[in-house]
Amino acid sequence: MSGDGTNGLWFGHLSERAQRVGPSPIGGLMVRALEQPALISLAAGFVDQASLPVEAARSAVLSALAEPEAARAALQYGTTAGDVQLREQIARAITDADVAALHANNPDRLTAPLNVPRAENMLITAGSNQILALLAEALLDPGDVILCDAPTYFVFTSIVKGVAGRCIGIAADEHGMRLDALEAELARHAHDGQLHRIKAVYVMSYFDNPRGVSLSAQRRAELLALVERYSHNRPIYVIEDAAYRELRYEAPDLPSLFSYDKAQKFVIYTGTFSKSFAPGVRVGYGVFPPDLLQVMLALKGNLDFGSPYLNQRLVSHALSDGLYEPHVALLRSVYGRKAACMLDALEAELTPLGIAHWVRPRGGLYVWVELAAHLDTGEQGQLFARACELGVLYVPGEPCFPEGAVQRSCMRLSFGVQSEPRIAEGIAKLARAIREQL
């Protein structure tokens, strides 16, 4: 704590908040992958490299820059909320998807969504993660609570921790969050007079990260009813993170949780073009209950008064020029094959061992493998070290768990980045590392 102001370490000059944030829980894994290029990384949540839409992006950006006046507009500042034409396109696309999914699933004989997104309630950001970060600012004071699946998206728990909020984990099964467990947690808070602390339920409603599981259609309506029932004087919001909605390859689409929100004041819907088009373009969005939108706009105004407008025009043209849908169709087929490859390899390599369990994902980018409880998958453990030695990397399950029962015997495997032969080879190496621990 001594110093003349120019030498030695500084202490205590950062905010409390700065002292809460740490490096990414998987930052070390990324460094390892870079240092050891032969390593087969089944860890990174990057998207398939080969299918990135080079031609479509080029075509869309040229469209955005073709007509001189529109080109200059694309290179100027936009509004904080984002391009209204793109917002309208997104609103239409969500509505169309919800209508089609309702008809296909018809879980409770609805024929029209109870809630449809409107462009004026939407905010465009550089990826939907920004929406999650701004929502944490908007909703959480220190000690406030978000309920989420256990396990859940580890960047989200890191965001919540960054504002001194708490993520409490709710048990989940192959149909998503268990509503009996959710209700028990709500009731416990109500009983303790702490219900006002619960600001939202976070649900990755389609092919979640890390498990690849979707909340079932029946549970969507019930979850909404439950949240409404416990919203006394103030709403318990539902943050519906639909980042992987488009990446389905074996399942019909489901109506969004948002579409069930007949009061139009509980559900925030977030989505992104990072997974379904290109992460390097980085366009995401959120749809908000109107009272919350104003706060989000003010926070976004302070952050950067609106995300890059050129990228928004690029995506708008990708949608209107017919470049987006064929790309999504391609991705479904590419990821469908990769998922099948990983599942076949897991079946062949791990099933005989009798110590591994996974839910077959029907979309998204991940398989979540639960091993027998005595097998520690942690970054400091023997299994992880041996897997790295053999040349395969996975995400240990532990950082994916919010407060509550942390399991140390799980791993997240991504089939997004690697080719099919490398996926098969990676799973074989992983199985060898596991066998050696038995």
Give CA–CA dist 428/40, Å, rounded. 11
CA–CA separation, 288 and 123 (whole Å):
8
Contact stretch for its own copies (CB under 8 A) within 17-25, 93-101, 252-260, 322-330: 17-25
Q: How many residues sit in the footprint of its own copies (CB under 8 A)?
A: 95
Question: Using the rule CB under 8 A, which residue among 63, 89, 95, 129 binds its own copies?
Answer: 129
Distance CA 272, CA 267 (A): 17
Cis peptide bond N-terminal to 235, omega within 30: no
Nearest distance from residue 291's CB to its own copies, in Å? 6
Name which of 19 and 111 has its Cβ closer to its own copies. 19
The residue among 292 and 356 lying less far from its own copies, judged by its C-beta, is 292
**Quick check: 263 binds its own copies (CB under 8 A)?**
yes
Q: Tell me which residue has tokens 């001194």.
A: 164
Of the listed pieces 94-102, 127-135, 328-336, 398-406, which binds its own copies according to CB under 8 A? 127-135
294: contact with its own copies by CB under 8 A? yes
Of 306, 274, 279, 321, nearest in space to 62 by CA = 321
Could you tell me which of 168, 224, 240 has the C-alpha nearest to residue 198? 168
Are the C-beta atoms of residues 342 and 413 closer than 8 Å to each other?
Answer: yes
Nearer to its own copies, 189 or 313 (CB): 313
Site for its own copies in 334-353 (CB under 8 A): none
Q: Which residues pair with residue 393 across a beta bridge? A: 41
Cα–Cα distance, 89 to 114 (Å, whole number): 20
Q: Is 21 in the site for its own copies (CB under 8 A)?
A: yes
User: At which residue do the structure tokens 């990821």 appear?
Assistant: 335
Rule CB under 8 A: say whether 106 interacts with its own copies.
Answer: no
Cis peptide before 210 (omega within 30 of 0): yes
Least CB distance to its own copies at residue 309 (A): 4
Residues in a beta bridge with 202: 148, 239
Q: Does the footprint of its own copies cover residue 99 (CB under 8 A)? A: no
Q: Rule CB under 8 A: which of 194-233 touch its own copies?
A: 196, 199, 228-233
Q: CB of residue 53 vs its own copies: minimum separation in angstroms?
A: 7
Q: How far is the CB of 4 from its own copies (least distance, A)?
A: 8
Query: Residues 141, 17: contact at Cβ < 8 Å?
Result: no
Applying CB under 8 A, which part among 116-124, 178-186, 289-297, 399-407 lies near its own copies?
289-297
- Residue 11 in tokens: 């202490």
46: contact with its own copies by CB under 8 A: yes
